[in-house]
Amino acid sequence: MISAIPIGRSNAGGSRRYDILLLDAEHMCNMDGGKQDCEFNAGKRLIERLRQEYRQLPMILMGDDLYAHDPFTLELRVLRMNFELVAKPDFHRELYDRVEDVDGLGQCVKGSAVGQVPLL
C-alpha cells in the first residue's frame, strides 16, 4: 500500500505549525491476465488521482529510493507536486559525486537529525 500525506502550514499564535494527515492510499493488486502490479505503478496511480481530486492543494510527496529517478520526478513536476526522495549512494553515484564537488567549493549547508527532525 502506498500512502499520501499532505502538509498544511499555519501560523496560529505566532508560531509555525505543520499539520500532517493520511490523505489517501493505493493498493497493489494483480492486473487482468495475472500480470503482477508493483509499488512503482501504484505510486503513479496515486499521484495522478491525488492531483485530480485535490487540484489546488499544495503537496509534498516523500518517498524512498524506488521513486528517485527521472520518469517519476518529471511526473511529479507536471502534477505540480513538491517532493523529498531518498537517494541511496549505490544507485545515484553521479548525484553524490556532484554533491562532493559542491562541498569542496564550500557551498554546501550541512545539518544533522535528532530522531526524525532535521537540524540545520
Q: What is the pLDDT of residue 117?
A: 55
Q: Would you place residue 13 in the very low, low, confident or very high pLDDT band (cuts 50, 70, 90)?
A: low
Mention every residue, 6+ apart, whose C-beta is less than 8 A from residue 118: 111, 112
Q: Where are the domains of the chain?
A: 2-107
- Using only C-alpha atoms, what is the Rg of the chain? 17
In the predicted model, is pLDDT for residue 62 greater than 60? yes
The answer to whether the beta carbons of residues 79 and 48 sit under 8 Å apart is yes
Percent of the chain with pLDDT over 70: 67
Q: Specify which residues 113 forms β-bridges with.
A: 118
Instruction: Note the pLDDT of residue 100.
Output: 87
